[in-house]
């Protein structure tokens, strides 16, 4: 087969697999990048070459590897440019004194331990063509790395970017990143020349070039930014100039004798941080680099990773030693420095785990080391395992030492409305406010949903709170949108939209019950469920619109929330009726219909003008469905003024859905439980017909019960009784 | 800024100097006292002094070595099949360098050892032990033992310039 065709087939496999494994890792709450690195390793001799050596050698023959190398180097150059571009001096604004101390100690300790480890490893896994100095420098540098880009995404994903811990970690990682790149540049220079003394000219040239870029280069780039400000758009000509600059800068650093990536990084770092320019440039560049080129780099790296080389217990012991030195060095260095700076134990510990994230940056360093011959394939494999483990462990260990529920208490700019919520946890059941969580996907079109939430929540007998929830879903690990700065901008924008929606709500008193929550998330359904538990919400009220151009049934995210949320869920399908006076509950005596009834009763209690029609559809000669015992008890306790407004109607019909559809003509809102009787499946993931959702003439509220229905009404009834006694 | 006060600067100066001193001491010790094994070529043509007892005729073998310090993984292939993919390599010999001697052992399929590619694939694996004395330049002398046989056969390992090596320059 022609080499070019083979390379394209390889790229096809690489992109497909890296997306697939990346998504699997996202699903287990791990950064996408770990999945992509693992996908690369899977394609190499560690898995694919092991189980199907024949096929592996046919698909990845040696003659195609140099092509993959070229693609991956191009990818790396532009990726490093993006990292430099996103390295905003704003990250250096928080706790600078603590951050500089912590980041320096967090480099010095693992570097020292790495140097000592080199004494053990050099005679075992290196060879005489590599000088000990270069080996020790590389190992020290590899141990000291903190991957700023991965860390920044983990911080954004955990909504830590506004917390003291988040800002501190970002500052430390930014300082670490720059220091580690300098260290690596020295290591490369020494590896090239063989000794420190001989490397001095290279280091000098590098310093001169850095100075040039930060002065002359910056002046030129500032002009470019001014031009952008005037025109307001990034033309292809300007983009071409910038890309040429990236490649030229990369070539210069290569000629100096360090590495291509430094020039690209330097140009990115020197770019003026004009928000619009950075955003447009990043968005235009990142898609192709992140989707196409970076997975090729992971595959190229994976082809050089052979876990099979660790074929003796003593080698696994060495691998463990490498892992231990890396983790302990980084953790202890960070922890001690943070503690000395007055950070409390929990936060210092969380910072220690965060700084252990090595991810992709480590992989870049290791590949350079392997290509230079400074590290052997065996040590390369050990260090790749170390990079994977240290990145993989960050999220769970962070959650363990610094659970998400504590994050809210530590927000730098405490939001006033959140103080009240956090104190509600310890109060007893009756005094606890009735909470409704309302995921709002589109603040512009979901006023009806918010009004329904207000109607269900607010009465004058029981405290209530409505949490309009806006989750910003992060699509990609390295997408520009998931950088802390950009995430902050989007959060502020969404918060404004939510505030605007709240300000339009009637009656105006309702606005004081609103506690908006805006945060980032990588899995909207899961995050919604988590927040519902955290805020002890009684109900999740979610809106749904049937897409105009597809026959998509109730499914997707709404379906996932319905299936997974550990609280009662109601799905609102708004038909635009503004009134909420006439309610209909088709009742077929299942637990979800019980919830429908109880929500209807709550609406009756809350609004004196509301009337409820309960529709029981029976086939010919069939006995009518009795109310459940629980519901019957509730009905007994209702005040007469409420019972008077309930009309129970029994109709005989063969098709229950048609009877409900007909009855819905005359009402404002139909409330139905998820049951087959009404043509709505519990999961409603599109496998069955959600007939009522389509045919219902009024607005529709579909309920799925999870907990005791009494939680929605008992405290109101209890307060009523108290009033009567008094 | 406060982090540039005398106390902080002293701390950084002491901390960085300590690490540099430690690095200097360790590298001085490493450069003078620690000896890493010789770098060995990746491909050798093995010329046996006589035919292997399990084979009908004598032939050449190619030894592909992957070195990581003292740890070695080797692949024995018939002389006519040099074009093996790097990816598909499944090392059949493992070993170490000890006292300037390369020791490898493992199992090899008989048809590879005897260079009989036309025979339908035989699955019987033959235990093989290789010992080669390392010298800085030139051909290497060693011996091979197959089937746990007490008889060892002398061999000469001639370093081969491989395409793979020339294709992978220091292209960091």
List, for residues A248-286, the tens digit of each pLDDT value.
Answer: 999 999 999 888 889 999 999 999 888 888 888 988 998
| Total Cβ atoms within 10 A of residue A461 | 16
Q: Which of A299, A307, A235, A242 is nearest to A268 (CA)?
A: A242
pLDDT band at A77 (very low <50, low <70, confident <90, very high): very high
Q: What is the pLDDT of residue A143?
A: 92
pLDDT band at A682 (very low <50, low <70, confident <90, very high): low
Q: What is the pLDDT of residue A277?
A: 87
Backbone CA torsion sign across A440, A443, A444, A447: positive
Q: Which residues of B touch A (CB under 8 A)?
A: 1-3, 8, 11-12, 15-16, 19, 22-23, 26-27, 29-31, 34-40, 66-71, 73, 84-91, 94, 164, 167, 170-172
Residues A225-257 pLDDT 10s: 888 888 888 888 889 999 999 999 999 999 998
Nearest to B30 among A45, A118, A127 (CB): A118
Q: Which fold has domain A434-574?
A: Rossmann fold (3.40.50)
Instruction: Check CB contact under 8 Å for B23 and A115.
Output: yes
CA distance, residue B171 to nearest chain A CA (Å): 6
Q: How far is A77 from A70, CA to CA, in rounded Å?
A: 11
Under 8 Å CB-to-CB from A550, ≥6 apart: which residues?
A: none
Give the nearest chain B residue to A188 (CA atoms): B172
Instruction: Check CB contact under 8 Å for A108 and B86.
Output: no
Under 8 Å CB-to-CB from B132, ≥6 apart: which residues?
A: B101, B102, B140, B141, B142, B155, B157
Mutate to test the interface with B, among A43, A103, A132, A262 (most CBs of B within 10 A): A132
Q: What is the pLDDT of residue A255?
A: 92
Q: Which fold has domain A575-717?
A: Rossmann fold (3.40.50)
Give per-residue burial for A100-117: e unless 16+ CB within 10 Å, then b.
Answer: bbbbbbbbbbbbbbbbbb
pLDDT band at B88 (very low <50, low <70, confident <90, very high): very low
Q: Which of A350, A328, A442 is nearest to A400 (CA)?
A: A350
Nearest to A122 among B2, B12, B36 (CB): B36
Q: How far is A6 from A518, CA to CA, in rounded Å?
A: 47
Q: What is the pLDDT of residue A314?
A: 92
pLDDT above 70 (res A585)? yes
| Cα atoms in the 13 Å half-sphere on the side-chain side of A693 | 30
Q: At what angle do helices A294-303 and A359-372 cross, to 10 degrees?
A: 50
pLDDT above 60 (res B86)? no
Per the model's pLDDT, the better-predicted residue between A677 and A344 turns out to be A344
Dihedral angle of Cα A384, A130, A265, A486, to the nearest 10 degrees: 20
Q: How far is CA A321 from CA A114, A116, A324, A353, in A?
A: 10, 12, 5, 18
Task: For chain A, give every domain's residue range.
Answer: 89-287+310-408, 434-574, 575-717
Q: Which of B74, B164, B64, B81 is nearest to B128 (CA)?
A: B74
* pLDDT, averaged across chain A: 83
Q: How far is B83 from B101, CA to CA, in rounded Å?
A: 28
Instruction: Check CB contact under 8 Å for B87 and A129.
Output: no
Q: What is the pLDDT of residue A547?
A: 54
Instruction: Check CB contact under 8 Å for A136 and B27.
Output: yes
Nearest to A376 among B69, B89, B170 (CB): B69
Lowest mean pLDDT among A62-76, A184-198, A265-279, A422-436: A422-436
Instruction: Check CB contact under 8 Å for A62 and B167.
Output: yes
Q: What is the pLDDT of residue B117?
A: 61
Residues A486-517 pLDDT 10s: 888 888 888 888 888 888 887 777 888 888 88
Task: For chain B, give every domain's residue range.
Answer: 1-35, 43-159
Lowest mean pLDDT among A123-127, A430-434, A673-677: A430-434
B33 CB-contact burial (10 Å; exposed 0-12 / middle 13-18 / buried 19+): exposed
Q: How far is A253 from A184, CA to CA, in rounded Å?
A: 13
Q: Which of A104, A115, A74 is nearest to A289 (CA)?
A: A74
Mutate to test the interface with B, among A45, A92, A111 (most CBs of B within 10 A): A45
Q: What is the pLDDT of residue A593?
A: 86
Q: How far is B76 from A356, CA to CA, in rounded Å?
A: 41
Question: Is-same-fold flag (A89-287+310-408; A434-574)?
Answer: no
Q: B88's torsion region: left (phi>0), alpha (psi -120 to 50) or beta?
A: alpha
Q: Which of A445, A408, A702, A404 is nearest to A553 (CA)?
A: A702
For the structural domain made of A89-287+310-408, what CATH number should be given? 1.20.1530.20
**Cis omega (within 30 of 0) for bond into A249:** no
The arithmetic mean of pLDDT across residues A175-194, rounded, is: 85
Is the CB of residue A708 less than 8 Å from the CB of residue A594? no
Q: How far is A521 from A161, CA to CA, in rounded Å?
A: 13
pLDDT above 50 (res A421)? no
Q: A468: which strand partners? A: A438
The arithmetic mean of pLDDT across residues A103-110, rounded, is: 90
pLDDT band at A178 (very low <50, low <70, confident <90, very high): confident
Q: What is the pLDDT of residue B26?
A: 94
Predicted complex ipTM: 0.83
Residue A93: helix, strand or coil by DSSP? helix
Q: What is the pLDDT of residue B164?
A: 44
Percentage of chain A exceeding pLDDT 90: 28
DSSP string, A126-141: --TTS-HHHHHHHHHH
pLDDT above 50 (res B168)? no
pLDDT band at A177 (very low <50, low <70, confident <90, very high): confident
For the structural domain made of B43-159, what CATH number should be given? 2.40.128
Percentage of chain A exceeding pLDDT 70: 88
């Amino acid at each position: 087969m022609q080499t070019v065709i083979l390379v394209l087939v390889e790229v096809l496999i690489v992109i497909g697999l890296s997306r697939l494994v990346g998504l699997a890792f996202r699903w287990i709450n791990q950064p996408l990048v770990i999945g992509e690195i693992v996908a690369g390793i899977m394609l190499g001799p560690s898995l694919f070459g092991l189980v199907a050596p024949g096929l592996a050698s046919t698909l990845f023959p040696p003659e195609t590897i140099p092509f993959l190398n070229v693609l991956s180097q191009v990818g790396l150059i532009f990726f490093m440019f993006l990292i430099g571009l996103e390295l905003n001096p704003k990250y250096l604004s928080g706790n600078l004194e603590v951050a500089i101390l912590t980041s320096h100690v967090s480099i010095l300790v693992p570097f020292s331990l790495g140097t000592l480890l080199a004494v053990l490893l050099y005679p075992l896994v290196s060879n005489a063509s590599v000088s000990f100095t270069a080996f020790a420098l590389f190992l020290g540098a590899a141990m000291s790395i903190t991957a700023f880009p991965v860390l920044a995404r983990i911080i954004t994903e955990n909504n830590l970017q506004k917390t003291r811990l988040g800002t501190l970690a970002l500052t430390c990682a930014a300082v670490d990143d720059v220091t580690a790149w300098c260290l690596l540049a020295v290591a490369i220079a020494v590896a090239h020349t063989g000794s420190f003394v001989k490397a001095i000219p290279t280091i000098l040239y590098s310093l001169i070039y850095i100075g040039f870029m930060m002065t002359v280069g910056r002046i030129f780039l500032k002009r470019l930014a001014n031009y952008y400000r005037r025109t307001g758009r990034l033309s292809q000509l300007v983009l071409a100039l910038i890309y040429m600059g990236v490649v030229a800068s990369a070539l210069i650093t290569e000629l100096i004798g360090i590495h291509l990536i430094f020039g690209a990084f330097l140009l990115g770092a020197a770019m003026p941080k004009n928000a619009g320019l950075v955003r447009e440039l990043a968005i235009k560049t990142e898609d192709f680099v992140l989707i196409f080129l970076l997975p090729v780099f992971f595959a190229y790296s994976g082809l050089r990773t052979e876990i099979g080389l660790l074929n003796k217990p003593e080698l696994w012991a060495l691998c463990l030693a490498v892992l231990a030195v890396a983790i302990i060095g980084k953790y202890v260095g960070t922890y001690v420095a943070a503690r000395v700076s007055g950070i409390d134990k929990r936060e210092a510990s969380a910072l220690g785990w965060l700084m252990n994230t090595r991810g992709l940056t480590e992989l870049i360093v290791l590949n350079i080391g392997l290509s230079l011959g400074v590290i052997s394939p065996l040590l390369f494999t050990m260090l790749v395992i170390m990079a994977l483990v240290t990145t993989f462990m960050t999220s769970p260990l962070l959650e363990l030492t610094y659970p998400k529920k504590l994050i809210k208490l530590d927000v730098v700019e405490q939001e006033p409305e959140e103080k009240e919520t956090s104190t509600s946890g310890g109060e007893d059941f009756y005094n606890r406010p009735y909470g409704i969580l309302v995921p709002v996907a589109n603040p512009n079109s979901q006023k009806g949903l918010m009004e329904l939430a207000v109607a269900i929540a607010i009465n004058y007998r029981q405290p209530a709170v409505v949490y309009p929830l806006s989750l910003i879903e992060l699509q990609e690990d390295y997408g520009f949108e998931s950088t802390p700065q950009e995430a902050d901008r989007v959060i502020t924008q969404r918060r404004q939209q939510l505030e605007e929606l709240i300000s339009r709500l009637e009656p105006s008193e309702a606005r004081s019950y609103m506690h908006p929550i805006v945060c980032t998330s990588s899995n909207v359904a899961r995050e919604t469920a988590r927040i519902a538990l955290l805020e002890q919400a009684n109900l999740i009220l979610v809106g749904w619109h049937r897409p105009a151009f597809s026959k998509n049934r109730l499914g997707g995210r709404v379906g996932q929330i319905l299936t997974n949320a550990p609280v009662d869920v109601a799905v609102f399908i708004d038909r635009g009726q503004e009134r909420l006076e006439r309610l209909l509950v088709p009742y077929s005596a299942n637990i979800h219909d019980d919830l429908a009834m109880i929500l209807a009763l709550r609406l009756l209690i809350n609004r004196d003008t509301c009337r409820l029609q309960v529709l029981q559809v029976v086939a010919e000669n069939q006995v009518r469905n009795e109310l459940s015992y629980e519901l019957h008890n509730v009905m007994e306790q209702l005040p007469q003024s409420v019972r008077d407004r309930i009309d129970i109607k029994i109709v005989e019909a063969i098709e229950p859905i048609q009877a409900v559809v007909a009855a819905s003509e005359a009402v404002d809102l139909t409330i139905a439980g998820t049951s087959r009787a009404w043509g709505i499946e519990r999961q409603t993931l599109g496998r069955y017909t959600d007939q009522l959702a389509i045919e219902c003439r009024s607005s529709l509220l579909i309920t799925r019960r999870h907990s005791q229905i009494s939680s929605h009404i008992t405290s109101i009834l209890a307060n009523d009784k108290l009033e009567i006694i008094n | 800024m406060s982090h540039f006060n005398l106390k902080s600067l002293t701390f950084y100066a002491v901390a960085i100097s300590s690490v540099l001193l430690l690095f200097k001491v360790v590298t001085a010790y490493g450069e003078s006292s620690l000896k890493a094994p010789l770098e060995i070529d990746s491909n050798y043509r093995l010329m046996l002094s006589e035919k292997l007892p399990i084979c009908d005729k004598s032939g050449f073998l190619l030894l592909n070595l992957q070195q990581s310090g003292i740890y070695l993984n080797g692949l024995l292939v018939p002389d006519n099949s040099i074009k093996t993919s790097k990816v598909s390599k499944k090392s059949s010999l493992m070993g170490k360098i000890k006292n300037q001697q390369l020791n490898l052992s493992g199992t090899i399929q008989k048809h590879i050892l005897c260079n009989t590619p036309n025979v339908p694939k035989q699955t019987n694996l033959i235990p093989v032990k290789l010992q080669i004395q390392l010298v800085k330049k030139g051909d290497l002398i060693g011996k091979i033992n197959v089937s746990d046989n007490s008889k060892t056969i002398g061999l000469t390992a001639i370093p081969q310039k491989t395409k793979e090596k020339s294709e992978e320059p220091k292209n960091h």
